[in-house]
Amino acid sequence: MAIEEVQLEVPLENRNDAGKLSLAEEQERQWSVDRKWTTSRAELWAYYIYYIGDNGLAGLNFGPSQFQNLLYLAGWDQADPTRSTPCVGDAVCVLPFAGSIRDVIGAWADYGTWRPNILTAFTAVAIAVSFGWLGVANAAKWQAAVGLYIVGLITYQGTITFWTAAFPALARNLPHVQEERGKLASGVVTREQYDLTESLARNMVQNIAFAVQSAGELVILAVMVGILNGLRSDASTENNTWAFSVLIAFAGGVWLLCALPWVFLEKKRPGNDLPPGASMVTIGFVQTYVAFRQCLKLKQTFIYLVFYFLMGDALNTTVTVIGTIQNEIVYYSTLQLTYLLIVGIFTQLIGIYAFWRVQKHFQLSTKTMLIFNCIWIILLALWGLIGVWTPNFGFKHVWEIWAYQAYYGMMVCPWYAYSMTFVSEVIPHGKEFLFYALFSIIGKTSSFIGPFVTSAIIDRANGNNSMAFAFLFALTMVSVLILFVIDVPKSKRECEAFLQAEAEQEGLEVKHGD
């Protein structure tokens, strides 16, 4: 295929002795347009379809549910010294227990052309784990369930991280964005105009991906309802347990079919060149160290990292507390949980599409949309906080759980699109996989800290779960205030300075265009 480039001409006298471009010239070349890497419609839809399979039903929903189910069935009531009384209700349940790698992989993925293989490897293992649950469908195999749960969760998070990190390059190489970049190089449009075009393109890719995934997941869940009815999952505990494993395997099969188009249609866009003296063995560790060391110099990136940690902690913990309350007021079978998921996914589809239409119509920035989304997260915490003063509201009734699913899907779920899109606005070009891995680790770390704090609050409140929302409400308010101070244009200047300093100090050739 012929390669067409639109770029600024560089006089021969401005080249260095080695024939390479100077740092200033290299910065100019970031606006070059290589038609070889233009994002095709087929490639873009393959990216969307992959996400239908990577929906979390296996690794994040039914997998952990089956894991907890088997642990519960395998345990015994702590009050019985003979270990013959099974767990009942919310009694203490006992089991016979014996006495940052992803960030490094993320750094590797920014170099060379082998990054797609990382996503493929994570996907293959995750799908294999899904099928493995078919052999773990009774309480006697709870130890195997522990392994499947851990590997399944890690590989699922790995796929999400590397799938997400691919979208900035897809958006940057969309035909209309490449055309706008050519206009920028020739001086027809300003940098601000181009930045808005690219930002909206990134939002379009992320939001459409989430909308397509939601629509596809609705179909998957509808089929799952048929499977559950066919297996008579509500007839007995054994049927319910077997149904969990069947659903996980089915989700894995769908994932396999949805992953194949992306594996074959993704264009293997080149990453950065290795620095002199570095190798693929060492670069991952070196760049991980550099990222942590330099993150403080990228002040806006660091501020967003703090915001992302705090708001992610608040949201994750809010969902956890609501889940705890839900389990106290109602028991859901596998079939009922599926119905609940359908409500959440359907409203998620509506919410994400509505958010994107509003943003596109009014040409709103990612930051504006993220602030708007965070307001609804604050209101979610306030919803629970009201329960401190009244028994009539604040996740106290079954109808509120169903209402929460609809509210969460429509108003809160856009967080997962916009928070990730905003990452791409405050990180250096060419370092997407390293920084997305870093943000992913931060996000998962926050999932552990919040529950410890809220657990302590609930204990001091004599088991009143609603008191946890006081802390969560305050945390969401503080987080939004931090988001307000982030300066996106300033962040872009900091990122450019970061890349210049890196190239000068470490001899890195950084490719910005593709």
| pLDDT value of residue 287 | 59
Task: Name 474's Cβ contacts closer than 8 Å, sequence gap at least 6.
Answer: none
Following DSSP, what letter does each residue of 251-306 receive, concatenated?
HHHHHHHHHHHHHHH------BPPPTT--TTTHHHHHHHHHHHHTTTSHHHHHHHH
Task: Name 456's Cβ contacts closer than 8 Å, sequence gap at least 6.
Answer: none
The tens digit of pLDDT for each residue in 410-428 reads 999 999 889 988 988 898 8
Reported as a pLDDT band with limits 50, 70 and 90, residue 280 is: very low
Residue 8 is assigned to a structural domain of this protein: no
Report whether pLDDT(85) > 80: no
The tens digit of pLDDT for each residue in 307-364 reads 998 998 899 889 888 877 876 776 666 677 778 888 988 999 999 999 999 999 999 9
- 225 versus 274: the higher-pLDDT residue is 225
Mean local confidence (pLDDT), 125-154: 89
Residue 59 is assigned to a structural domain of this protein: yes
Phi and psi angles of residue 111, each rounded to the nearest 5 degrees, phi first: -120, 145
- 217 versus 296: the higher-pLDDT residue is 217
| pLDDT value of residue 64 | 79
Reported as a pLDDT band with limits 50, 70 and 90, residue 111 is: very low
Reported as a pLDDT band with limits 50, 70 and 90, residue 445 is: low
Average pLDDT over the chain, rounded to an integer: 78
Following DSSP, what letter does each residue of 5-28 receive, concatenated?
-------GGGS-TTSPPPHHHHHH
Determine which of 21-30, 194-203, 474-483 has the lowest per-residue pLDDT on average. Answer: 21-30
The tens digit of pLDDT for each residue in 155-172 reads 888 898 888 888 888 998
- 108 versus 29: the higher-pLDDT residue is 29
Closest CA to 110 of 284, 264, 289, 296: 284
| CATH code: domain of residue 255 | 1.20.1250.20
| pLDDT value of residue 317 | 87
Report whether pLDDT(498) > 90: no
- 432 versus 227: the higher-pLDDT residue is 227
**Pairing relation of β-strands 76-77 and 93-94?**
antiparallel
| pLDDT value of residue 234 | 78
Residue 512 is assigned to a structural domain of this protein: no
Closest CA to 129 of 278, 253, 264: 253
Residue 7 is assigned to a structural domain of this protein: no
Residue 89 is assigned to a structural domain of this protein: no
Residue 91 is assigned to a structural domain of this protein: no
Report whether pLDDT(105) > 80: no
Mean local confidence (pLDDT), 167-192: 88
Reported as a pLDDT band with limits 50, 70 and 90, residue 497 is: confident
- Of 256-260, 298-302, 433-437, which one has max mean pLDDT? 256-260
Residue 378 is assigned to a structural domain of this protein: yes
Quote the percentage of the chain above a pLDDT of 90.
33
Task: Return the residue matching tokens 């307000």.
Answer: 484
Q: Are 144 and 136 in contact (CB under 8 A)?
A: yes
| pLDDT value of residue 31 | 52
Q: Measuring CA to CA, how many Å separate 222 from each of 219, 229, 341, 343?
A: 5, 11, 10, 11
Mean local confidence (pLDDT), 191-198: 87
Task: Name 471's Cβ contacts closer than 8 Å, sequence gap at least 6.
Answer: 453, 454, 457
Report whether pLDDT(448) > 90: no
| pLDDT value of residue 8 | 38
Report whether pLDDT(479) > 50: yes
| pLDDT value of residue 456 | 81
pTM: 0.75
Q: Are 513 and 31 in contact (CB under 8 A)?
A: yes
Structural domains in the chain (count):
1
Q: Measuring CA to CA, how many Å separate 166 from each of 175, 218, 314, 366, 392?
A: 17, 25, 27, 18, 46
Report whether pLDDT(130) > 90: yes
CB atoms within 10 A of CB 251: 27
Reported as a pLDDT band with limits 50, 70 and 90, residue 100 is: very low
- 255 versus 168: the higher-pLDDT residue is 255
| pLDDT value of residue 34 | 64
Determine which of 259-263, 328-332, 452-456 has the lowest per-residue pLDDT on average. Answer: 328-332
Q: Measuring CA to CA, how many Å separate 205 from each of 199, 202, 353, 372?
A: 10, 5, 12, 19
Burial of 279 per CB tally in 10 Å (0-12, 13-18, 19+) = exposed
Rounded distance between C-alpha atoms, residue 127 and residue 483, angstroms: 37
Q: Which two tokens stand for residue 79?
A: 């009050």
How big is the chain, counted in residues?
514
Rounded distance between C-alpha atoms, residue 52 and residue 61, angstroms: 15
Q: Are 254 and 217 in contact (CB under 8 A)?
A: no
Reported as a pLDDT band with limits 50, 70 and 90, residue 106 is: very low
Domain that residue 287 falls in: 18-81+100-506
Report whether pLDDT(82) > 50: no
Report whether pLDDT(490) > 80: yes
Closest CA to 469 of 319, 299, 245: 319
- 108 versus 185: the higher-pLDDT residue is 185
Following DSSP, what letter does each residue of 124-189 receive, concatenated?
HHHHHHHHHGGG--SGGGHHHHHHHHHHHHHHHHHHHHHHHTTHHHHHHTSHHHHHHHHHHHTTSS
Burial of 192 per CB tally in 10 Å (0-12, 13-18, 19+) = exposed
Rounded distance between C-alpha atoms, residue 425 and residue 434, angstroms: 14
| 170 dihedral zone (left: phi>0; alpha: psi -120 to 50; beta) | alpha
Mean local confidence (pLDDT), 182-195: 86
The dihedral sign for the CA sequence 253, 259, 260, 263: negative
Phi and psi angles of residue 307, each rounded to the nearest 5 degrees, phi first: -60, -45
| pLDDT value of residue 169 | 86
Residue 2 is assigned to a structural domain of this protein: no
- 28 versus 53: the higher-pLDDT residue is 53
Mean local confidence (pLDDT), 363-381: 96
Report whether pLDDT(151) > 50: yes
Rounded distance between C-alpha atoms, residue 418 and residue 421, angstroms: 5
| pLDDT value of residue 89 | 47
Reported as a pLDDT band with limits 50, 70 and 90, residue 272 is: low
Report whether pLDDT(96) > 50: no
| pLDDT value of residue 293 | 64
Count of helices and strands (H, E) across the chain: 19, 2
- 511 versus 189: the higher-pLDDT residue is 189
Following DSSP, what letter does each residue of 64-86 receive, concatenated?
HHHHHHHHHHH-EETT-TTS-SB
Report whether pLDDT(291) > 70: no
